[in-house]
Copies of this chain bind each other. A is one copy, B any other.
Amino acid sequence: MPEKAPREAVSRRSRPAKAPLSQDAVVTTGLELLSRHGLPGLSLRKVATALDTGPASLYVYVSNLDELRSLVLDRALGDVARSGGGHWRSRVKDILRSYAEVLMGRPGLAELALTTMATGPNALRVIESLLAALIEGGMDPGAAAWGVDLMQLQVTGIAAEQSARTGQEDALGPMARATAAASPQDFPHIHALHEELLSGSGRSRFEWALDALIEGIARTPRPTS
């Protein structure tokens, strides 16, 4: 039962007033769809449908799917915490922890980050604050530059592993089964360590990995080429 048109006619059109397209709108609904349906939700056709148009229309605002993915990733990275205070080392860990939490906070986002490089302002801000903290900690600037790369990759990888793990109903996935079944003759060390290989809460492994990285990066001289 449609109500009567309120007040004045809505300028020539009747429908819900379909917001105008824009890159911002495209990226926003892309992130929404990702959040709701994971990686398969982030398709040009689905974004187009959500915006009540055809897929061809999006090419005005985005040059292809890869660009959309990278824009959506950067948008999501806007939630990474600003670097707070405290000792440089705990600041580095805070940033990376927040980074991991953001990646794990939406289904498919960590996996997206693994295959897409974000180059927008939010990604740059994360890099910038990591560099600042490391350099403040007295780290050689060159090592800091290379190290940031390592840290981000590592954290992204851990986040992807972790969220793949929680996405499935079986807690540990095929790797657990494979290592558990590894024959003691062919794979003695795996056999002996198969519990260790998968042990530890995600949390404690994460903290350990960060410490190991920071330690290694700080102590390893770069080649003098």
Question: In the complex where A215-B215, A223-B204 touch, is A187 in contact with B128 (Cβ < 8 A)?
Answer: yes
| A217 CB-CB contact with B under 8 Å | yes
Q: Which residues on B sit within 8 Å (CB–CB) of A146?
A: 196-197, 200, 205, 208-209
Of the candidate stretches A9-17, A27-35, A98-106, A171-179, the one touching chain B is A171-179
Q: What 1/0 mask marks residues of chain A from 201 to 223 whose CB sits below 8 Å from any chain B CB?
A: 10011011101111111011011
Q: Smallest distance from the beta carbon of A186 to chain B beta carbons, Å?
A: 8
Which residue in chain B gives the minimum CB-CB distance to A173?
B117
CB <8 Å contact, B182 and A208 = no
CB <8 Å contact, B147 and A157 = no
| A36 CB-CB contact with B under 8 Å | no
State the CA gap A154–B114 with chains docked (Å): 12
- Number of A residues near B (Cβ < 8 Å) is 67
State the CA gap A187–B208 with chains docked (Å): 29
- Interface residue ranges of A134-166 to B (CB < 8 Å): 135, 141-142, 144-150, 153-154, 156-158, 161
Which residue in chain B gives the minimum CB-CB distance to A131?
B189
State the CA gap A16–B64 with chains docked (Å): 42
One of B131, B150, B173 near A154 (C-beta < 8 A): B150
Q: Smallest distance from the beta carbon of A119 to chain B beta carbons, Å?
A: 4
State the CA gap A131–B124 with chains docked (Å): 36
Q: Which residues on B sit within 8 Å (CB–CB) of A214?
A: 216
| A65 CB-CB contact with B under 8 Å | no
CB <8 Å contact, A215 and B220 = yes
| A62 CB-CB contact with B under 8 Å | no
Q: Smallest distance from the beta carbon of A136 to chain B beta carbons, Å?
A: 10
One of B141, B182, B200 near A124 (C-beta < 8 A): B182
Taking beta carbons and an 8 Å cutoff, which residues of A are in contact with B?
A: 70, 111, 114-115, 117, 119-121, 123-125, 127-128, 131-132, 135, 141-142, 144-150, 153-154, 156-158, 161, 173-175, 177-179, 182, 186-190, 192-193, 196-197, 199-201, 204-205, 207-209, 211-217, 219-220, 222-223, 225
